Amino acid sequence: MPGGCVVIGPAVIGPAVIGPAVIGLAGGIASGKSRVARAFGALGCVVVDSDREARAALERPEVIEELVALWGEDVLDANGAIDRRRVATIVFEDPAKRERLEGLIHPMIKRTRAQVIREAEAKGAPGVIIDAPLLFEAGLDAECDATVFVESPRDVRVRRVVEHRGWDEAELDRRERAQMPIDEKRARCDHVVVNDGTADVDARVREVFRAILEGLEKRHGA
């Protein structure tokens, strides 16, 4: 309903646009993108968790069969399912193998994402949030109306990976070297949400969401 407003709960968020606003989240490892995604979800947005979709893709029989054919039965755990840690080690150490895996599962994830967007539009959701660890690296920003960088200080991120993932600081550095530099991600994003454990994430997300919707309203000339 062009020219109208998106009303979520008791609050008017901003002008409506034709179809849901597709918003991509980017940030460093352990920046708290999932927390920001939940804040958008509380505003009525539908969240696409790309990590979860990737895990689901790895459970598909045809994917299991293909990966065993490529890399042997060592990629299976004791129950015959894909050992995600083993696969992660393989593709992290070999970019060509990472590209092979991505070529296998990314089309599946893309189809699922497109279906989610169609369903969100059908039910009148104001936005779809793409929570993906490699938003720019995978080219997913091309599917987005806006991108949001989740800002979190390095010391906070180090503490999070130590407490929640069992990594040390060196492991965080090693994994981030395989990604686009954080400064470049920040520069390529349209908006920033601070998630340092002290900022009011929900309030900032509400402000950013309003700005995104207003910008899209102007862009569409509604």
What pLDDT, in 10s, does the model give residues 80-121? 999 998 998 899 889 899 999 999 999 999 999 999 999 999
User: Apex CA 184: angle with CA 152 and CA 205, to 5°?
Assistant: 40
Cα–Cα distance between 217 and 222 in angstroms, integer? 6
Write out pLDDT tens, residues 31-90.
Answer: 999 999 999 999 999 999 998 999 999 999 999 999 999 999 999 999 999 999 899 889
Quick one: how many helices (H) and strands (E) in the chain? 9, 7
Strands (E) across 4-87 are located at 5-8, 11-15, 21-27, 46-49
Q: Is the pLDDT of residue 201 over 50?
A: yes
Per-residue pLDDT, averaged over 176-192, amounts to 95
Spatial CA neighbour of 26 closest among 129, 169, 115, 117: 129
Q: Is the pLDDT of residue 133 over 90?
A: no
Task: Kindly report the number of other CB atoms within 10 A of residue 6's CB atom.
Answer: 23
CA 208, distance to chain mean position in Å, is 17
Cα–Cα distance between 156 and 37 in angstroms, integer? 18
CB proximity list for 184: less than 8 A, separation 6 or greater: 136
Per-residue pLDDT, averaged over 14-39, amounts to 87
Tell me what pLDDT residue 162 has. Answer: 96
Write out pLDDT tens, residues 145-165.
Answer: 999 999 999 999 999 999 999
Q: Is the pLDDT of residue 13 over 70?
A: no
What domains, with CATH codes, occur in the chain?
1-45+125-222 (3.40.50.300), 51-124 (3.40.50.300)
Residue 127 pairs with which residues in a beta bridge? 21
Residue 20 is encoded by which pair of tokens?
């849901």
Tell me what pLDDT residue 7 has. Answer: 44
Residue 8 is encoded by which pair of tokens?
């979520």
Tell me what pLDDT residue 46 has. Answer: 97
Cα–Cα distance between 65 and 178 in angstroms, integer? 27
How much is the mean pLDDT over the chain? Answer: 89
CB proximity list for 212: less than 8 A, separation 6 or greater: 14, 21, 23, 127, 145, 146, 190, 191
Per-residue pLDDT, averaged over 126-144, amounts to 94
- Burial label for 43, CB within 10 Å (0-12, 13-18, 19+), is buried
Cα–Cα distance between 203 and 209 in angstroms, integer? 10
What percent of the chain clears pLDDT 90, i.e. is strictly above it?
Answer: 79
Cα–Cα distance between 41 and 47 in angstroms, integer? 6
pLDDT band at 6 (very low <50, low <70, confident <90, very high): very low
CB proximity list for 122: less than 8 A, separation 6 or greater: none
